[in-house]
Amino acid sequence: MAALDGLLTFFSWHHALRAETVLVREGFDVLLIPAPRDLSPNCGTALRFGYEQREPALAVLADRKVRIDGMHPYTPELERDGPMAASAEANGAARAPALQPAGGGRWASWLRKVI
């Protein structure tokens, strides 16, 4: 399974479930999780995916007319501060950034124009 370091937020749980179905059928690795409230107050469900595949994922979702609220790079608190993070830092890997919106409004407005 690829690193699930991206997060899609939605306006409703219906869009989250539809996005999961669409992306799984297209071969993407995804995982539904509770949405962090600091990223999206709209829906309590978010979808983790491989952030490096954001362009193809957005294209598939736009083609299937699935609305998203935003797209964010994402590393859960446990993965940032746990033993795996300490091991990665010891081997010279950069520390993952904290949860932060990364232009989610920009992606959402882009998708609204496409749809």
- The residue extents of the domains of the chain are 6-114
Q: pTM for this structure?
A: 0.63
For helices 54-63 and 104-114, give the axis angle rounded to 10 degrees.
40
CA atoms within 13 A on the CB side of 26: 18
Q: How many CB atoms lie within 10 A of CB 89?
A: 11
Q: What are phi and psi of 36, to 5 degrees?
A: -65, 125
What is the Cα–Cα distance from 47 to 34, expressed in whole angstroms? 8
Domain 6-114 classification at class level: alpha beta
What is the Cα–Cα distance from 13 to 23, expressed in whole angstroms? 15
| pLDDT digit string (tens) for the chain, length 115 residues | 568 889 999 988 899 999 999 999 999 999 999 887 777 777 788 999 999 999 999 999 999 999 998 888 887 766 555 555 554 455 444 444 444 444 445 555 555 555 4
